[in-house]
């Protein structure tokens, strides 16, 4: 899937479209892209569409932000500031259940679970380009459903 996102609202809308079709159960999503590419904005759209009324802060300093969203349990990670990937073993990232969203997965080396879905955001003035690929059966099914909800949202 490849999608142009003209502004931050479009990135949030794409995240909301993904939130709509997110299945309960274990699923790992990697979010690639440079600093400021829009990864947290996409996650914010997802988490808000799942009914979270409060803030969705960047986990840059906390490393992980957990959410309980009705039938879904979700963890949002940002590994940008991780000093040593071994910290991830200590955090038990591989054992995390539910939806696991990981910004800067390349910093986690081999301490991360394999992704079901990989997303990449790229700055493309004006706006951003979002690319996504399924890496498992569950990830490919999710991607097909997401493609449909993006269309419904006019993206
Ligand atoms: N499609 C878009 N067009 C223009 N600006 C956007 C778009 N999507 C997001 N932004 C803006 O880009 C900025 C950075 O977004 P965000 O914090 O989500 O990036 P990030 O990839 O999570 O960065 P970091 O690696 O620092 O965590 C924000 O000001 C956001 O509003
Ligand atoms: Mg971020």
pLDDT tens digits for range 81-123: 998 989 999 899 999 999 999 999 999 988 999 999 999 999 9
Share of the chain above pLDDT 90, in %: 90
Name the nearest CA neighbour of 102 among 84, 89, 116. Answer: 116
Ligand 2 ion local residues (Cβ < 5 A): 39-40, 58, 103
Residue 38 near ligand 1, beta carbon < 6 Å: yes
Q: Tens of pLDDT along 143-155?
A: 999 999 999 999 9
- Binding site membership of 76 for ligand 1 (Cβ less than 6 Å): no
Distance CA 124, CA 80 (A): 22
What's the CA gap between 78 and 9, in Å, rounded?
21
User: From the CB of 106, is ligand 1 less than 6 Å away?
Assistant: no
pTM here is: 0.98
Ligand 1: centre distance to CA 37 (Å): 5
Q: Provide the strand spans (E) within the chain.
A: 2-5, 27-32, 64-69, 72-78, 99-103, 117-123, 128-134
- Apex CA 35: angle with CA 111 and CA 52, to 5°? 75
pLDDT given for residue 125 in this prediction: 87
Output the average pLDDT for the chain.
96
């Amino acid at each position: 899937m490849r999608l142009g996102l003209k502004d931050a609202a479009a990135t949030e809308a794409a995240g909301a479209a993904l939130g709509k079709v997110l299945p309960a159960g274990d699923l790992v999503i990697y979010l690639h892209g440079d600093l400021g590419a829009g990864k947290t904005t996409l996650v914010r759209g997802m988490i808000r569409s799942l009914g979270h009324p409060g803030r969705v802060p960047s986990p840059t300093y906390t490393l992980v932000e957990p959410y309980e969203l009705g039938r879904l349990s979700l963890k949002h990670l940002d590994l940008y500031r991780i000093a040593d990937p071994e910290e991830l073993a200590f955090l038990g990232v591989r054992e995390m259940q539910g939806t696991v969203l990981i910004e800067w997965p390349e910093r986690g080396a081999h301490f991360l679970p394999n992704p079901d879905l990989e997303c990449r955001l790229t700055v493309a003035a004006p706006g951003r380009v979002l690319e996504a690929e399924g890496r498992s059966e569950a990830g490919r099914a999710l991607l097909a459903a997401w493609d449909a909800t993006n269309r419904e949202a006019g993206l």
